Amino acid sequence: MPKQKTHSGAKKRFKLTGTGKLLRRRAMQSHLLERKSPKRRRGFSKDNPVAESDVKNVKKQLGLR
């Protein structure tokens, strides 16, 4: 049986921490930043955990069964 391929889009978007948590970047930070408050823009720089309901699918895409 052939090897499972990693989803190319997923490997660019998600990061696995040392403790096994999955992190993602936040949305809404690519453009129109002038009108967003500085507090909101600072929050974009921090990675966010993947929702518990999505973890199973993301792990499958990354080949982390």
The DSSP output letter for 26 is P
Q: What is the pLDDT of residue 1?
A: 85
| pLDDT at residue 65, as a whole number | 74
For the segment 6-37, what is each residue's pLDDT rounded down to a tens digit? 999 999 999 999 999 999 999 999 999 999 99
Distance in angstroms (rounded) separating the CA atoms of residues 40 and 57 = 29
**In CATH, 8-62 is 4.10.410.60:** yes
Flag whether pLDDT at 51 surpasses 90. Answer: yes
pTM: 0.82
Which of 18, 13, 8 is closest to 48 using CA atoms?
Answer: 13
Structure confidence at residue 34 (pLDDT) = 96
